[in-house]
Structure 1
Amino acid sequence: MSAIKTIKAPVFSSWFCLGPYRYLIRTAVLGLVLLSLSRLALVLWQYDRVEQTGLLWQVLLQGVRADIIMMGLLLLVPVLLIPLASVRAMGNLWFQFSYLWCLGALVLLVFMELASPAFILQYDVRPNRLFVEYLKYPKEVLSTLWFGFRLSLVLGIIATVTLAWLIRRVFLLGQCSLKQWSAVKTMGMWALAVLLLLAGIRSTTDHRPANPAIFAITADAMVNSLVLNSAYSVLYAIYNLKHEAHSSEIYGRLPTEQMLKLSLDWPWLKTYQFSNPDYPTVHWQQATVKRAKPLNLVIVLQESMGATFVQSLGGEAVTPELDKLKQQGLWFENLYATGTRSVRGIEAVVAGFPPTPAQSTVKLSNSQQHFTTLASILKAQGYHTQFIYGGEAHFDNMRSFFTGNGMQQIVDQSQMANPVFTGSWGVSDEDLFNTAHQQLTALHQQNQPFFSLIFTSSNHEPFEFPDGRITLHEAPKYTVNNAVKYADWAMGQFFRQAQQSDYWQDTVFLIVADHDNRVYGDSLIPVDKFHIPGLILGPGIQAEKLQMLASQIDLAPTLLSMIGVSSCHTMTGRDFTLDKTSPGRALLQFGDYFALMQGDKLVILKPDGKSVEATYRFRQQKLSISGRAVSQADKNTALALVQLPSYLYREQKNASTALCSPSLPVN
């Protein structure tokens, strides 16, 4: 049966039968209607957030503009090929092609819109680059969807198939003859169609065509994403992948010399000499803690454990083990993650590398070798370096990044025999920590100094963990609070073992989160969801609460001093053993927004090159846009800090092999 067999409905003939445009026009109309209805449904679902902006009608009307751009992009290829329809031998083939193309385009739109609610629940934004990145890991994604979103997945598939069938029925309406238009008529209409299509895609008469930044009309990032449609959001993210090295230029651009000067103009960096012209951030860091023998280093990177969990919830502590441990070491009261992804946390904690609007350097091609990390620094000092992970180490490109940048050993799920529990994301945290304890014990017995990065995964949707370990915080079992409590329990078990082991006296430990669990809120940047716990403990480390504002990129330089390792490196974070008095700062990357936070003041850079000043009230955990114009000096400082990592990556100036001369801190 022909794919374009029609249903007799003469009443539709005049509207539906427009020569070579029959399926294109139907697609344009159906697409615009479907996208508008989807946006309306999402707006009603999130009405409280939308209503607070006072821009309901702008959200809906600007959304139509975004939808026109998307439909123009989808129809561009078939419209450009319309002249083929006037060729007698190509007529039937053209109609078959345009039918299949248009049907596929509408099914894609439907699928993306149906996938949006679950994605918004998880990330508080429409599908974006993360949606594409996760497609590389079908096993983990499908397991998470099946165990954590089974009902949504099944209903989404049913709805997609049903709507695809209905769209096909609409396509076949009308008695349409395959008789060709004349070549003159076809080409005349084609020129007009191309002109209208390109105008719709460009959507502006400004110097640059429209992009998602134009639709950022509110101070709520989630509401801004509702203005778009999900297909456009994902498509633009894919397009931007080729601009990773220059990603920070969406905020503006400073001359390189000015950018470097501002980036290094911080009190804690003034004691260092930056004298290598080929590697402008390379310097000699003299360890402030003198040790007869440098200590081992263990970093416990906790998956999705935001600071909000390190408090009492409903009268019962969710992290009782961490609450005990934080009385024994250096506790960071105001530590902030640089982003909202695990790879962003890895980049900051292990490499001391600031964030950019691009993907994390863990996943970028130019940083897979010769990139400064704690592993590369300590390997050069004779340490055995290892990454221990309960899942599959290839996830998020971790194996490639680590092995190319100093990690000598990767221990993942495949090497953990007889686990007590295996879930969607690998073995349980207790299996992970049991393996880690065995590894550390063996290395210490060999008198081998070591650096071990232990990355947990039990606190990850769908929140699977073994029974009988904890008293559940709430019912049902598989909730984030219960998963956090289990992860905390497993970590507590590990530290009880570690404190009784021989390696304890020779090791400094860091416990830190990669990011919070779900980043959401009605602010341009949800600052409270960047707040994470951080604790350094070990022999000789006194209990202390550090009140100063701190960033994840400050941890690596601080740890190097605490273990007694002096080294040459390119990291620009703050060594808190050297400077505990200067006001701190945090760098926050949230989607396409970048913020420099100093005290309660934030300078937020937007992807349209504009900036806003905001105030963060810590007690209320509320961000308020001040309405004051950002000074050029403040904007330049923020711009320098986000431009620096892009420059270092693009020019490959973050090399672990860069040399510098030992020098003592300036008094």
Structure 2
Amino acid sequence: MITCKNRYNVLFGFSAMILLLSFLVRTALLCWAFPQSGLTIADIPGIYFKGLIYDLGVTLFFTFGYALYLLFLPARLNNTIFNRVFTYFTVFLAAMILVFSFFAEFTFWGEYSGRFDFIAVDYLIYTYEVISNINQSYPLPLLIGGVILVTAFLVWVLHRLGFFRSSFQSKTPFGKRLLITAILAGLTVLHISYVSNSWAEQHPNRYAQELSKAGVYSFVSAYLNNELAYDKYYMQENENMAFNLVRSQLQTNNSHYLTTGNNLLRQVTDTNTRIIPNVIMITIESFSADFMERFGNREHITPVLDSIAKQSLLFTNMYATGTRTVRGMEALSLAVPPTPGQSIVRRKHNESLFTVGYIFGQAGYDRGFFYGGDGYFDNMNNYFGNNGYDITDRLRHKFVDDKLTSTRTNIPDSAVHFENAWGICDEDIYDAVIRNADNKFAAGKPFYDFVMTTSNHRPFTYPSGKIDIPSGSSREGAVKYTDYAIGEFLKKAASKPWFKNTVIILVADHCASSAGKNEIEISKYHIPCMILNLPGVAPQEIDRMCSQIDIYPTLFSLLHWTYNSKLYGEDVLSPSYQPRAMVSTYQKLGYLVPGKLIILSPQQKAEFFTWNQEKNEQHAAPMDSSLLKVSIANYQTAYNLFKNGGMKR
């Protein structure tokens, strides 16, 4: 029981509660992650020490406003009903926010093996999808009830220990209150000035970094640092030298630059007869290469795709540029390296860009973007609609963006057989693609479609009776349904008159998980890509390391197109092609070549690793200065071009 009467006792008790709960959450996450983390016992003290510093920061931020209230509350009001009600309500509300955030940390860790980051900030904006997803994935009434009960219990403990009574009955003089508040203010200022999330990221093990952080602290840090200026935070080369290096890298025997200076506009020439097929790209949500039997999986959950792999142009060594759908969309539509912070899909001033769709448009194609969810999410409609694509999605938000320069079609209820938080099932979106293709074929127009699926996403629900795994039971079920739906789409499409002249691209937007013991876990970027129905091209496997950004330059070469380009992607089949891939998180920018990895980080840092692909092992090594220059040049010029309008068409 608290016997010392002090107006700040509730604040001190609440602070102790935050620190204790944070310690317990960190300990639970450590136990969860330890078996696969690569951590040693020697790493644990540092994790808890840094964690305590971050937890103190959270405590200061949470309580400072209440400290100001206690400072200025007149003594005559301290033991009144007003102050009692206000204090109990404030403590209950703050405790409930903390308890909910701690619960959310476990669900977020289960999905991403990390503390809150830009993804959590993004999801906070899109409340319908996120709340629906939580409701369909977890017993929400029980969870909310549990949060309220735990909060009530914590407040009751503080009450039983006498924190409230000793605070209300105190007569702490103003001078002492001023001193306590000044100390708290000074500690808060010191924490803001000298502690940042990057402090946790100095440890070479990614799990140690994430376990050292505090979820609430990381969330606020991510919110405040949503955009990262490359020219402010990352290593740079002389701008002219950087562009000269990239121009040289992209120069081929069949291309020439149309202008001089710091741009990449060039013409790629092919003297063979041009082929003009329809092109449908199916971008598969969260589809890791290791889901397929071809890449070692033994669960037999992708029979369709494993069969297709033997009949197509199969890229066996392709890597996604990032860990989110919008990053994959950026790579597949712009063919550029990922820039730090948000994907270009979500940024301002991303209209009228020199996209892959623009190249198709110049060749006379109608272009379409198909999404099973609401295209308002992640700014998809705005991005594709203002870059020449006609939109077909499942509209669910209240307002329609009247600034779109392309048409937009809502998928009606009559065409929907199954729907969850993220959108309609894959079979339904494929039916919409087929209906559109029928119309385009009847009008005599070649078409290029960018199709984004949703079924391989939590809560992993799909129509019943389609496969032998119950809906909502596991990721494996969602993968198998995704595979099944692709098979059904191809069966229906094969019966159409337009199919014989239609190339089908199957590629993942990113992997199902990016977590690993390394900052950039390369194996978690490995994705499958297949190009089916290519005229005059026999099935084959391409084992050269490459990226999502290389798909269309390779396809255009196979189709013998002459076209203007600003793409960073290259023709993987060209004899002069040098294998490489770009892999990133929101802050870490990786440049990968066989056996080597450069990682560029904020604060002008760069690290070099050797990489054993077969064993999936990374080891720090002395810097490769020539590879560092190439890495910097690619990322620096991509940032420069977008920032200064050089990616505009």
Which TM-score applies when normalising by structure 2?
A: 0.88
* Matching residue of 2:2: 12
By how many angstroms is 1:646 displaced?
2.5
SS at 1:132's partner residue? Answer: helix
By how many angstroms is 1:539 displaced?
1.9
* Matching residue of 1:663: none
> Structure 1 regions of 5+ residues with no counterpart?
1-10, 203-208, 657-667
Mapped partners of 1:265, 1:67: distance in 2:
49
1:275-314 correspondence runs (5 A): 276=259, 280-287=263-270, 290-291=273-274, 294-311=276-293
* Matching residue of 2:622: 629
Asked if 1:574 corresponds to 2:538, the answer is no
* Matching residue of 1:456: 453
**Paired amino acid for 2:291:** F
Q: Is the 8 A contact 2:39 2:208 kept in 1?
A: no
SS at 2:579's partner residue? Answer: coil
* Matching residue of 1:125: 114
Asked if 1:556 corresponds to 2:552, the answer is yes
* Matching residue of 1:408: 390
1:463-542 correspondence runs (5 A): 463-470=460-467, 472=468, 478-537=473-532, 538-542=534-538
By how many angstroms is 1:79 displaced?
4.5
Question: Does the C-alpha gap of structure 1 residues 412 and 289 become closer, same or farther in structure 2, counting only changes over 3 Å?
Answer: farther
By how many angstroms is 1:339 displaced?
0.8
Asked if 1:421 corresponds to 2:418, the answer is yes
Q: Is the 8 A contact 1:419 1:431 kept in 2?
A: yes
**Paired amino acid for 2:6:** L
CA RMSD of aligned residues (A): 3.0
**Paired amino acid for 2:638:** P
By how many angstroms is 1:625 displaced?
1.7
Question: Does the C-alpha gap of structure 1 residues 33 and 521 become closer, same or farther in structure 2, counting only changes over 3 Å?
Answer: same
Question: Does the C-alpha gap of structure 1 residues 275 and 106 become closer, same or farther in structure 2, counting only changes over 3 Å?
Answer: farther
**Paired amino acid for 1:132:** V
* Matching residue of 2:443: 446
Q: Is the 8 A contact 1:286 1:566 kept in 2?
A: yes
By how many angstroms is 1:476 displaced?
7.7
Mapped partners of 2:172, 2:190: distance in 1:
25
Question: Does the C-alpha gap of structure 1 residues 606 and 364 become closer, same or farther in structure 2, counting only changes over 3 Å?
Answer: same
Given the alignment, which residue of 96, 100, 110 partners 1:107?
96
By how many angstroms is 1:530 displaced?
0.7
SS at 2:577's partner residue? Answer: coil
Asked if 1:30 corresponds to 2:17, the answer is yes
Asked if 1:143 corresponds to 2:132, the answer is yes
Question: Does the C-alpha gap of structure 1 residues 653 and 44 become closer, same or farther in structure 2, counting only changes over 3 Å?
Answer: same
Q: Is the 8 A contact 1:391 1:427 kept in 2?
A: yes
Mapped partners of 2:510, 2:297: distance in 1:
23
Question: Does the C-alpha gap of structure 1 residues 420 and 107 become closer, same or farther in structure 2, counting only changes over 3 Å?
Answer: closer
Q: Is the 8 A contact 2:340 2:587 kept in 1?
A: yes
By how many angstroms is 1:137 displaced?
2.7
**Paired amino acid for 1:460:** H
**Paired amino acid for 1:114:** F
* Matching residue of 1:650: 643
Q: Is the 8 A contact 1:12 1:173 kept in 2?
A: no
* Matching residue of 1:198: 189
> Structure 2 regions of 5+ residues with no counterpart?
396-409
Given the alignment, which residue of 164, 178, 182 partners 1:173?
164
Q: Is the 8 A contact 1:269 1:572 kept in 2?
A: no
By how many angstroms is 1:234 displaced?
0.7
Percent of aligned pairs sharing the same letter? 25
**Paired amino acid for 2:223:** I
* Matching residue of 1:72: 60
* Matching residue of 1:664: none
Q: Which stretch of structure 1 is more off in the superposition, 520-529 or 507-516?
A: 520-529
By how many angstroms is 1:73 displaced?
2.8
Mapped partners of 2:70, 2:166: distance in 1:
21
1:22-421 correspondence runs (5 A): 22-50=9-37, 52-53=39-40, 54-79=42-67, 84-85=72-73, 103-150=92-139, 153-154=140-141, 156-169=143-156, 170=158, 173-177=164-168, 181-202=172-193, 209-241=194-226, 243-244=227-228, 246=229, 249-266=232-249, 272-274=255-257, 276=259, 280-287=263-270, 290-291=273-274, 294-311=276-293, 315=298, 317-367=300-350, 369-412=351-394, 414-416=410-412, 417-421=414-418
Mapped partners of 1:190, 1:135: distance in 2:
32
Q: Is the 8 A contact 2:242 2:637 kept in 1?
A: yes
Question: Does the C-alpha gap of structure 1 residues 103 and 631 become closer, same or farther in structure 2, counting only changes over 3 Å?
Answer: farther
Mapped partners of 2:153, 2:185: distance in 1:
29
Q: Which stretch of structure 1 is more off in the superposition, 29-38 or 105-114?
A: 105-114
Mapped partners of 1:56, 1:116: distance in 2:
20
Question: For 1:549-598, what per-residue CA distance to the aligned partner results, in whole angstroms no more than 9, with x for missing partners?
Answer: 11011113223334454333321111235x24533101111343221110
Question: For 1:168-214, what per-residue CA distance to the aligned partner results, in whole angstroms no more than 9, with x for missing partners?
Answer: 33165333346665444444444333223322343xxxxxx322221
SS at 1:605's partner residue? Answer: strand
Q: Is the 8 A contact 1:289 1:562 kept in 2?
A: no
By how many angstroms is 1:314 displaced?
7.1
